[in-house]
């Protein structure tokens, strides 16, 4: 079994920097009213970004292998958050948005399904704690 590590260090107040085995630093912070300097992404927001990066890389790789040519690909990720502390995510929805000319639905649907059910480890971890749903849309581009 592989082991992954992270190192997180306080800079000042609730401003922290962290890096993982890949050795890339990221800054995390909070608003000034909670002791931060508003200098970085919120830690909880990183979960949403991680989800998008994980499933997005799966989908892009699968579609690349299937020779589906995209003009653009993005995801809109929305979450519902509990009103009471610890204000956890209670639901997350991923909307995949594909841009291209005459994009075929079948390989897109299959790529999303494979990511959601087999490959995306972030989805699998989050599904243990909340509902994770998805949808997609295709935006036709001009030549």
Q: What is the pLDDT along the chain (143 residues), one digit of tens a residue?
A: 999 999 999 999 999 999 999 999 999 999 999 999 999 999 999 999 999 999 999 999 999 999 999 999 999 999 999 999 999 999 999 999 999 999 999 999 999 999 999 999 999 999 999 999 999 999 999 86
**For the chain, what are the domain ranges?**
1-41, 43-140
Q: Strand locations in 1-143, DSSP E?
A: 6-12, 15-20, 25-28, 72-81, 89-100, 131-140
Pick the CATH number of 43-140 from 3.40.50.720, 3.30.1300.30, 1.10.10.10, 3.30.300.20: 3.30.300.20
Calpha distance 105→71 (Å, rounded): 15
Given a contact cutoff of 8 angstroms between Cβ atoms, the answer to whether 120 and 77 are in contact is no
């Amino acid at each position: 079994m592989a082991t992954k590590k992270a190192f997180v260090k306080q800079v000042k107040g609730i401003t922290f920097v962290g890096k993982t085995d890949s050795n890339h630093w990221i800054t995390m912070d909070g608003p000034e009213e909670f002791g931060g300097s508003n200098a970085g992404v919120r830690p909880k927001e990183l979960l949403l970004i991680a989800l998008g990066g994980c499933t997005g890389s799966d989908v892009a790789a699968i579609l690349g292998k299937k020779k589906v040519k995209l003009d653009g690909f993005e995801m809109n990720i929305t979450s519902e958050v509990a009103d009471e502390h610890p204000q956890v995510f209670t639901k997350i929805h991923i909307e995949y948005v594909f841009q291209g000319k005459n994009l075929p639905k079948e390989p897109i649907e299959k790529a999303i399904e494979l990511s959601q059910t087999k490959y995306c480890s972030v989805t699998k971890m989050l599904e243990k704690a909340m509902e994770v749903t998805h949808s997609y849309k295709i935006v036709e581009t001009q030549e």
